[in-house]
């Protein structure tokens, strides 16, 4: 008589399967959630990146994208700044194609210098980045 081996757990297989299968919404997004998701995708951000940019959790961003409830009033100005639109454009009912994106103001001195630095060879760009990072770190420690 052969000894039977104990049954192998299938938990690992289920986890791998779950990770490979993309999640689909079972019902269509409400207009408010669809609007927020569209703005986020147009900005080229993931939910996690948007969450970090506005100081929220990814779960909150996902909730707002899947519900009819708008984001909290303290988050709306942050979202508007990230998307470069007005708060009314986030909450409004007009077509997103007609939303006029705000252009940033005139380029400051630092922005102009960094734009010039982007044209340098990669090694010199790395030196500029290292210098700026060091300066920022020293300033952070001093304050």
pLDDT digits (tens, 9 = 90+) for 44-66: 889 999 999 999 999 999 999 99
In the structure encoding, which two tokens stand for residue 53, read together?
Answer: 């940019």
Q: Is 117 exposed, middle or buried (0-12, 13-18, 19+ CB in 10 A)?
A: middle
Sequence-distant (6+) residues with CB within 8 A of 28 are: 34
The ranges assigned to domains in the chain are 24-98, 109-142
The model's pLDDT over 51-106, given as tens digits with 9 standing for 90+, comes to 999 999 999 999 999 988 889 999 999 999 999 888 888 887 665 555 555 555 55
| C-beta of residue 68 within 8 angstroms of C-beta of residue 31 | yes
The per-residue pLDDT for 63 is: 94
Q: Would the pTM count as exceeding 0.85?
A: no
Instruction: Read off the pLDDT of each residue in 127-137 and give the average, rounded to a whole number.
Output: 90
The per-residue pLDDT for 91 is: 86
> Is it the case that residue 32 has pLDDT exceeding 70?
yes
The per-residue pLDDT for 77 is: 93
The per-residue pLDDT for 142 is: 86
The per-residue pLDDT for 55 is: 94
> Is it the case that residue 127 has pLDDT exceeding 60?
yes
Q: Tell me, which fold does domain 24-98 have in CATH?
A: 434 Repressor (Amino-terminal Domain) (1.10.260)
How far is the C-alpha of 39 from the C-alpha of 82, rounded, in Å? 10
Work out the pLDDT band at 13, boundaries 50, 70, 90.
Answer: low
> Is it the case that residue 21 has pLDDT exceeding 80?
no
Q: What is the DSSP string of 101-142?
A: PPPP-SPPHHHHHHHHHTTS-HHHHHHHHHHHHHHHHHHHHH
Of 53, 43, 93, the closest CA to residue 75 belongs to 53
């Amino acid at each position: 008589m052969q000894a039977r081996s104990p049954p192998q757990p299938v938990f690992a297989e289920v986890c791998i399967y779950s990770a490979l299968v993309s999640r689909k919404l079972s019902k269509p997004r409400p207009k408010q959630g669809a609007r927020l998701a569209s703005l986020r995708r147009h900005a080229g951000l993931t939910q996690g990146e948007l969450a970090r940019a506005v100081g929220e959790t990814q779960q909150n961003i996902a909730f707002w994208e899947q519900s009819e409830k708008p984001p909290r009033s303290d988050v709306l100005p942050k979202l508007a700044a990230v998307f470069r639109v007005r708060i009314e454009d986030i909450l409004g009912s007009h077509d997103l194609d007609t939303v006029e994106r705000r252009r940033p103001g005139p380029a400051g001195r630092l922005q102009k210098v960094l734009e010039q630095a982007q044209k340098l060879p990669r090694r010199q760009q790395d030196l500029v980045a290292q210098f700026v990072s060091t300066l920022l770190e020293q300033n952070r420690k001093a304050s």
